[in-house]
Amino acid sequence: MEDLNFPVEIVVCPTVRAADGLALSSRNSYLGDEERRAATVLFRSLTAARDAYEHGERNADALRAAMKSVLDTEPLAQINYLAASDPLTLVDLDLVENGVLLSLAVRIGGTRLIDNLLLPGDDYVARD
């Protein structure tokens, strides 16, 4: 963190996922069979927003709505938050101009799960 003079380096890498898209996490052990099946809705919601983005959608509210519409199909999913943020500042966006970090937190039963998907823009360059 440059502004706090902490010697921190952030390394971005892909999320490791099960074959059905669920992010691998120790929290998954708290899910029963039905909840585990329901939890796949997180990645499906992120991919719905990714598909909209890849088809030219740049309105962040529309991307969040794409995530919400998929999550709303799963009765066990209780949304904590949905975000479409600037990948560098994490500020929530109105309009995606240079990539977007899609993220969410959803409670499935008693377990709070989080997931995210980074969609770089044409001009997106990570800072050193």
Q: Give a yes or no: residue 59 inside a domain.
A: yes
Contact status, residue 53 vs residue 100, Cβ threshold 8 Å: yes
Q: Check residue 22 and give left, alpha or beta (phi > 0: left; psi -120 to 50: alpha).
A: beta
Q: Give a yes or no: residue 91 inside a domain.
A: yes
Q: Give a yes or no: residue 107 inside a domain.
A: yes
Better-scored residue on pLDDT, 15 or 10? 15
Please report the sign of the dihedral spanned by the C-alpha atoms of residue 69, residue 72, residue 74, residue 79.
positive
Q: Which tokens is 50 given?
A: 């990714």
Is residue 23 pLDDT above 50, yes or no?
yes
CATH of the domain at 15: 3.30.1300.10
Better-scored residue on pLDDT, 38 or 14? 38
Please tell me the predicted confidence (pLDDT) of residue 123: 56
Contact status, residue 55 vs residue 83, Cβ threshold 8 Å: no
Better-scored residue on pLDDT, 66 or 13? 66
Q: Check residue 21 and give left, alpha or beta (phi > 0: left; psi -120 to 50: alpha).
A: left
The domain total for the chain is 1
Strand partners, 23: 17
Please tell me the predicted confidence (pLDDT) of residue 128: 39
Is residue 127 pLDDT above 50, yes or no?
no
Residue 40, domain extent = 2-119
Q: Give a yes or no: residue 104 inside a domain.
A: yes
For 2-125, where are the alpha helices, taking DSSP H only? 33-39, 41-54, 60-71
Q: Give a yes or no: residue 126 inside a domain.
A: no
Please tell me the predicted confidence (pLDDT) of residue 2: 59
Contact status, residue 22 vs residue 28, Cβ threshold 8 Å: yes
Q: Check residue 105 and give left, alpha or beta (phi > 0: left; psi -120 to 50: alpha).
A: beta
* Average pLDDT, integer, range 97-117: 97
Q: Give a yes or no: residue 124 inside a domain.
A: no
Is residue 126 pLDDT above 60, yes or no?
no
| Tens-digit pLDDT profile for residues 63-89 | 999 999 999 999 999 999 999 999 989
